[in-house]
Amino acid sequence: MSGDRTTNTGGGNYNERIEGHYIDNRQTYINNVTPGKQNPPNNLQFSGTANFVGRQYELTLLRDRLQLAGTVALTAVAGMGGVGKTELAIQYVKKYEYDYPGGICWLSARESDLAANIVQFAQLYMNLEVPQQDFRGRALSLTEQVEWCWQHWQPPEGVALIILDDVTDIASCRDFLPKANRHRVLMTTRWRNLNPNLEEISLDLLSPQEALQLLTALVGNKRVQKEQLAAQELCEWLGYLPLGLELVGRYVAKKPPNYKLAQMLERLEAQRLENEAINRSSSGMQQSLSTAQSGILAAFELSWQKLTPATQLIAALLRNED
């Protein structure tokens, strides 16, 4: 065991510095460390969109914030649903993966078993045998097991990135955040001003030019050139939200070449009116949605209708499993 120790036997308190971490009598030191694989762990499984436009300023700002040395850099990308927070995080990881030779861990923060997923990550991607009890035989809490995983991250050197996607409550994550300087933490959240200690990057709507650029990449330049006004109206109707543009763009791209963007606008408007009629007679939810959110809802509905009944059934079953 390396490091130094100061012990106060009379009071029963002690402080230790072991492997760069100070621990006291309120924490637990586990000495049965099992060496893990030395390959940097990386569980990112998202390929990201091939039509990523704009956001270059946000990508640069995100990198600057996460490169702060001497502390655990906590950065949050905040914005409304559909604005592209998760996609920005994916594109950041793909572009700057070399900044994190210590590895990358992507976790869904919305799941209630975040701590268990961290432990599972250490077991699967670092081949660590996470102890269930300390050397005295006392059972370790899940929080203590998570702390052990951060302390024994393999390989033992190199900056590592932790992504917590879709954070809804910082209090539910606080106990499970790493404390070592080598870790960088990136969160995505729909909530602005989630915590004053977070470096927040606000993600807003695409500009009209960026939205048109994205739509063009999805449906093709010929379609947009033939119907420039309809293309601009479509972007505006969808509130310049990347998610809505992706849904509609992919929908149109599968149509025959003679399918017009003006037809798409008419279908979306008809679907929106139908959604409003249904919800007005039930919960009235539609009235609380913004124009952009109503547009995405209509786009989702049209995309859903294109699925086969079998695919719809599978999607519904998967949704019920979440």
pLDDT of 279 reads: 55
| Pairing outcome for strands 4-8 and 13-18 | antiparallel
Q: Distance between CA 298 and CA 273 in Å, rounded?
A: 9
pLDDT tens per residue, range 169-210 = 888 888 899 998 899 999 999 888 888 878 899 988 899 999
The strand ranges marked E within 24-94 are 73-78
pLDDT of 275 reads: 61
Least confident interval from 41-50, 69-78, 180-189, 271-280 = 271-280
pLDDT of 286 reads: 43
pLDDT of 219 reads: 94
Region of 203 please: left (phi>0), alpha (psi -120 to 50) or beta. beta
Reply yes or no on whether the pLDDT at 278 is more than 90.
Answer: no
Region of 229 please: left (phi>0), alpha (psi -120 to 50) or beta. alpha
pLDDT bin (cut points 50, 70, 90) of residue 294 is low
Structure tokens at 103: 């590895």
| Model pTM score | 0.72
Least confident interval from 62-66, 80-84, 122-126 = 80-84
pLDDT tens per residue, range 132-168 = 998 888 999 999 999 999 999 999 999 999 999 999 8
Reply yes or no on whether the pLDDT at 26 is more than 90.
Answer: no
Reply yes or no on whether the pLDDT at 315 is more than 80.
Answer: no
Closest CA to 86 of 45, 116, 33: 45
Reply yes or no on whether the pLDDT at 129 is more than 90.
Answer: yes
pLDDT of 15 reads: 36
Residues in the chain: 322
pLDDT tens per residue, range 212-244 = 999 999 999 999 999 999 999 999 988 888 888
The mean predicted confidence, pLDDT, of the chain is 78
Structure tokens at 179: 């404390």
pLDDT of 277 reads: 58
pLDDT of 237 reads: 87
